[in-house]
Homo-oligomer: A and B are copies of this chain.
Amino acid sequence: MRVLKYAILGLLDKGELSGYDIANQFKEGEIGQFWSAKHSQIYPELKKLTDEGLIQYQTVIQGSKLEKKIYSITPDGKQELHEWLTHFGPIPAVKDEFMLKAYFVSSMSPNEAKDLFRDQFNKRKEKLAFLEKRFDELQKKMTDPVARSPHFGHYLVLTRAMEREKGYIAWLEKALKWLEEVPES
Copies in the assembly, this chain = 2
Whether B35 lies near A95 (C-beta < 8 A) is: yes
Whether A115 lies near B101 (C-beta < 8 A) is: no
Whether A34 lies near B100 (C-beta < 8 A) is: yes
Q: Chain A interface secondary structure, helix, strand, loop or mixed?
A: helix
| A47 at the B interface (CB under 8 A) | no
**Residue tally, chain A, CB below 8 Å to B:** 74
Q: List 26 A-B contacts (CB under 8 A).
A: A3-B97, A10-B100, A10-B107, A14-B104, A14-B106, A31-B103, A34-B96, A34-B99, A35-B95, A35-B100, A36-B93, A82-B107, A85-B112, A86-B112, A102-B156, A103-B156, A105-B152, A110-B147, A145-B181, A145-B182, A147-B178, A147-B179, A147-B182, A159-B174, A163-B170, A164-B167
Residues of A at the B interface (CB closer than 8 Å) are 1, 3, 6-7, 10, 13-14, 30-36, 81-82, 84-86, 88-108, 110, 112, 115-116, 119-120, 123-124, 127, 145-148, 150, 152-154, 156-157, 159-160, 163-164, 166-168, 170-171, 174-175, 178-179, 181-182
